[in-house]
Structure 1
Amino acid sequence: MPILFSFKSLALNPIAFHLGPIEVHWYGIIIACGVILAVYLAVREGKKRGIKPDDIYDMILWALPAALICARLYYVIFQWSYYKDNPGEIIQIWDGGIAIYGSLIGAMIVVIWFCRRRFIPVWLMLDVAAPTVILAQSIGRWGNFMNQEAFGKITSLAYLQGLHLPHFIISQMYISGAYRQPTFLYESVWSFLGFLVLITLRHNPHLFKQGEVFLGYVMWYSFGRFFIEGMRTDSLMLFNLRVSQILSIFLFVGAIILAIYRRRDQVNPWYLEGNTLNVDF
């Protein structure tokens, strides 16, 4: 049956509304919603594991700025050939251009530092946060969708319709004169599945030692990201190699090795034991 209409003119406006001269972008709203939900869920789980809500709130006050700065720095470093000639655009994060791996690196450094100062088990805090972080990542990919970022190679309208996608997604995937693979959606779905797996399994008795929920998150996300990154056309590159694929391999293998090594240590408490004040990192 012939196609009687086109989706090309239906792209969504990335600006949600204006506050005077200030443009409020959907990108920021969506990421903020993901963070708020992640913090709420982390606080609920933290109470069950013996972590005070105030400790989580205080940690977030440090971790969020660090994550945002590192996410932008990570992106700018690997796009320096452009930003060295356009330094005024370095701070324009509202137009996109932040890297998840950069934000995770920055946030993890803060978590380790903070937990050491508050005498909270680092691995336990990472375990509590991991499922909520991957959920926030799943939600955050829709910010890329609104900005028409994180897309894949050229495809056909028939292919996108064959995926039974809503019209608004198909129209938004018409970028630079062609329909594109919705790799943002692939990663969003993969991350959400990871969230469901982690929250379903982490309360099983004698399944996870402290640290293994977090390492499971690292393995899950990096495994999927490696393959999805290979489909993208806007990847950060280093010597003709995709940076995220290199890092994904390193993280996946490293998480497996670390999980096996730590499992051999019988001293490590179970995740469900919660805060035993046994700070082991």
Structure 2
Amino acid sequence: MIDPVAVNIGPLQIRWYGVIMATAFLLGIYLAYRRALQNNIDPNHILNMVTLIIPASIIGARLYYVIFAWENYAGNPLEALAIWHGGLAIHGGILGGLLAGLFYVRRYGLPVWKIADIIAPSLILGQAIGRWGNFINQEAHGGPVSEQFISHFPDFIKNQMFIEGSYYHPAFLYESTWDFIVFIILMWRWPRKKTDGEIALLYLVLYSVGRFFIESIRTDSLMLGPFRVAQLVSLALIAAGIAGIMALRKRNQAWAKKR
């Protein structure tokens, strides 16, 4: 098992989970900054916006997780603050970040859909990197698998997926790989997009398709009765994303006819 603590500085522990999440945020910010410059948006807005989006995302991700897994925290509510132990739900993070970003964009009169397109590739890249924090914490994995199956993966993954006497599906790896693929698709699609907002909505659709299927093998799913919450949310986001793309294209066609 990999030691979850990267560095000890006196009484202070710097954990790999935090290092990986910080790396994801920094790379995402750099990408969005560059993309803003290329699209005639003052990049300082990106820097200012992330000072709201990052804490809102973390709070939203943790609050979402704790609400749906309250039975794990009812006996020790203070544990809900220990985000370094893992337990951040990406859908809660997206919601928290979206609300904070929308507040900033509305306040300064920025183009909502263009800003959304700028941020979407950074978001999926951050998710792809962040899943390796789950790997370190031995969470977000799938069900048990045979040693023969897990031996198809590199030894460091095989060893880390050996938990309490059994090997498990490296579901974190499946999602990280899918997220990287979505990132590549979004970057490829950007110069070919028909309208602002298409990249952001395409992100919602593509990420949610992968998450829906990967969630089916996870053993730590948040549940709402007999249903996996992430799958329900994924279906809703797929529908919203497709409807949004169609609506934006129809609006652009209407504008083109008026000209």
Which TM bucket (shorter chain)? over 0.9
Does 2:148 align with 1:187? no
In structure 2, how many angstroms separate the alpha carbons of the residues matched to 1:91 and 1:147? 16
In structure 2, how many angstroms separate the alpha carbons of the residues matched to 1:202 and 1:71? 28
List structure 1 runs of 4+ shifted beyond 6 angstroms: none
Residue 125 of structure 2 is matched in structure 1 by 135
Aligned length: 256
Correspondent of 1:158 among 133, 144, 148:
148
Correspondent of 1:168 among 130, 150, 156:
156
Residue 28 of structure 1 is matched in structure 2 by 18
Partner-residue secondary structure (3-state), 2:81: coil
Residue 241 of structure 1 is matched in structure 2 by 227
Does 2:98 align with 1:112? no
In structure 2, how many angstroms separate the alpha carbons of the residues matched to 1:232 and 1:208? 36
Residue 80 of structure 1 is matched in structure 2 by 70
In structure 2, how many angstroms separate the alpha carbons of the residues matched to 1:42 and 1:235? 31
In structure 2, how many angstroms separate the alpha carbons of the residues matched to 1:171 and 1:268? 57
In structure 1, how many angstroms separate the alpha carbons of the residues matched to 2:144 and 2:26? 34
TM-score, scaled to structure 1: 0.89
| Structure 2 gap ranges (5+) | none
- Equivalent pairs: percent with the same residue? 43
In structure 2, how many angstroms separate the alpha carbons of the residues matched to 1:137 and 1:96? 14
Asked whether the equivalents of residues 209 and 268 of structure 1 are also in contact (C-alpha less than 8 Å), the reply is no
Residue 5 of structure 1 is matched in structure 2 by none
Structure 2 counterparts to residues 1-281 of structure 1, below 5 A: 11-162=1-152, 165-204=153-192, 207-266=193-252
In structure 1, how many angstroms separate the alpha carbons of the residues matched to 2:72 and 2:182? 34
Q: Which has the higher helix share?
A: 2
Partner-residue secondary structure (3-state), 2:194: coil
CA drift at 1:267: 7.5
Q: Match of 2:81, as an amino acid?
A: I
Asked whether the equivalents of residues 161 and 169 of structure 2 are also in contact (C-alpha less than 8 Å), the reply is yes
Partner-residue secondary structure (3-state), 1:203: helix
In structure 2, how many angstroms separate the alpha carbons of the residues matched to 1:208 and 1:222? 22
Partner-residue secondary structure (3-state), 1:265: helix
User: What do residues 94-124 of structure 1 show as CA deviations (whole Å, max 9, x unaligned)?
Assistant: 0101111100000001111101111111111
In structure 1, how many angstroms separate the alpha carbons of the residues matched to 2:216 and 2:254? 37
In structure 1, how many angstroms separate the alpha carbons of the residues matched to 2:107 and 2:40? 17
In structure 2, how many angstroms separate the alpha carbons of the residues matched to 1:52 and 1:117? 15
| Structure 1 gap ranges (5+) | 1-10, 270-281
In structure 2, how many angstroms separate the alpha carbons of the residues matched to 1:254 and 1:201? 19
Higher relative contact order (CA 8 A, sep 6+): 1
CA drift at 1:92: 0.3
In structure 1, how many angstroms separate the alpha carbons of the residues matched to 2:14 and 2:20? 11
Asked whether the equivalents of residues 111 and 122 of structure 1 are also in contact (C-alpha less than 8 Å), the reply is no
In structure 2, how many angstroms separate the alpha carbons of the residues matched to 1:233 and 1:120? 41
C-alpha root-mean-square deviation of aligned residues, in Å?
A: 1.4
